[in-house]
Structure 1
């Protein structure tokens, strides 16, 4: 394959890395956090990236045009885990918050919902079973039922009722349902905007919301014959089958992601 020739799907990882190395100056790597850079935990507050991840991301950021984390987590949380990586952009809350060039930019349309989210988090702690972990994120509220899956239906019903009452949207994930502002913003929109001037992009995801990011890469390929997108799924027993079916490649775990990147960097 010639350096300038875009590989076609399906393709080998060797071809994908070779093309990426030839377009390094116009390549972006995007990563979800939970389940991709960090193992999923019962308590989301204790989640940490795999020990080798920060170093690998730092090396990657030196080798390509841009590295970004696109997560349902708030930027404040991501900063607490990756604060030393000044050259890695952080998109929090599905892109409602962005850390770029040393500052947080918040979508103005979401700010008016901050008081409602604070009230909603208190209501969830009062009205839902005590085993449900309520994660307040300032602009959204996530209801985790990983440790009490028998309450899944009740939690989802409660979330739907609150969304109807307050005019919010719900986002389902791995053993979690999240209430968020009715603002048009998701991971796919982040990727669509971010790859407008890119020649190549990779996205690593593990959950249903990440499929929109995969779709954004496909859409860019459809309108730009010079652009190459690589969708990578991280295996899990909860949403892994659907995500893997939408991806070009599946890796087994966050540790495998770190190893895969380290091996790929050797080709630059």
Structure 2
């Protein structure tokens, strides 16, 4: 259904362009009443403007309905009937086994390679909550992530504004990629002399005025829909509908569409209980992953082992990159079987924390073993 929504969007955009062209032609003809209507070029169908506009309206309505269906499919009220991963003994578990159960195999695959960690935030390091401003990670999770960062280069990759994610995590030693990777910053430097090596990358800066303008319009347009919340993530916008009555989802989708119709340089995508508005540039979490690997000096290395953990549709871009590269793997955080490019699965943030702890323990064990061997050699 998601793909259907995108397809209809392309059809509507195409029809709108044709409509504009026909309107322009009719204006010219009206100024010269004696002019004869030119025959349609070979291979083209003749269609009236009235009928075209009717088709436009029908297709636009279908597109909104497609979005509503997609919104409904991601709702907990509808996925309750879907068997959980724990209850499902089918092929999904075979192709996406638990990363905890397969931990030894994962460690074997990473031997002799540099592990680089990429972590989504909401639903991965913190639980999904009704109020996005209260998506706090636990103290245990923060302590675990800090240990991970001491062992491996570590980045948080989120749809959230980079500053907001940093305020949640509060660990200066991490890389942060906010706004779906459109706002990337490296670890803070302790020495002023290292300022020239600090990483800051913002490929969508030119869109900032437009994003702010659309944000104000969305806040005003959606305020009549109880429970809707518009979040400004600097380089993208999020319209949260987790607390919106399902009967109002169609109304909310129409409201968002009514604002975006005047901004062709912005595109609409969907995450978990949220509609995302982003610039049309070719940039996503997968591109951010590649950029960070290159920045770390691992662009063309065969001895790097990237691990990406995420729970959202937007994380699929990163999962696909790793699958295409044939390096490392993705871990999907979900209690329900989903179509994904990830290789392994974990069910909730607590399992993510257990997995990260085991990685740290394994790293510390290998370091201790190496030190012991070196000491024996010296003796």
TM-score w.r.t. length of structure 2: 0.60
Aligned-CA RMSD value: 2.2
Counterpart for residue 256 of structure 2: 159
1:72 aligns with 2:167: no
Matched, 1:192 2:278: no
Task: Please name the residue that 2:236 is paired with.
Answer: 140
Match of 1:95 in 2: 181
* Structure 2 partner of 1:253: 348
Q: 1:60 aligns with which of 127, 148, 152?
A: 148
Residue in 1 that maps onto 2:108: 18
Report if aligned partners of 2:159, 2:233 keep a CA contact under 8 Å in 1: no
Contact 2:155–2:176 (CA<8 Å) still a contact in 1? yes
TM superposition shift of 1:241: 2.8
Q: Please, which runs of 5 or more residues in structure 1 have no aligned partner?
A: 1-8, 222-227
Superposition TM-score, scaled by structure 1 size: 0.83
Q: Does the CA-based 8 Å contact 2:179-2:234 persist in structure 1?
A: no
CA–CA separation in structure 1 for the residues paired with 2:240 and 2:109:
40
Q: Aligned partners of 2:151 and 2:280: how far apart in 1?
A: 37
Structure number with the higher helix fraction is 2
Q: Counterparts of 1:138 and 1:264 in 2: how far apart (Å)?
A: 33
> Which consecutive unaligned segments of at least 5 residues does structure 2 have?
1-94, 189-197, 294-298, 364-379
Which whole-Å CA distance do the structure 2 matches of 1:263 and 1:206 have between them? Answer: 20
Q: Match of 1:231?
A: 330
Q: Is the 8 A contact 2:226 2:244 kept in 1?
A: no
**Which residue does 2:296 correspond to in 1?**
none
- What is the rounded CA distance, in whole Å, between the counterparts of 2:179 and 2:133 in structure 1? 15
Secondary structure of the corresponding residue to residue 232 of structure 1: strand
Which structure shows the higher strand fraction?
A: 1
Would you say the 8 A contact 2:217–2:259 is kept in 1? Answer: no
- Which shows bigger deviation, 168-177 or 246-255? 246-255
Tell me if structure 2 keeps the 8 A contact 1:192–1:217.
no
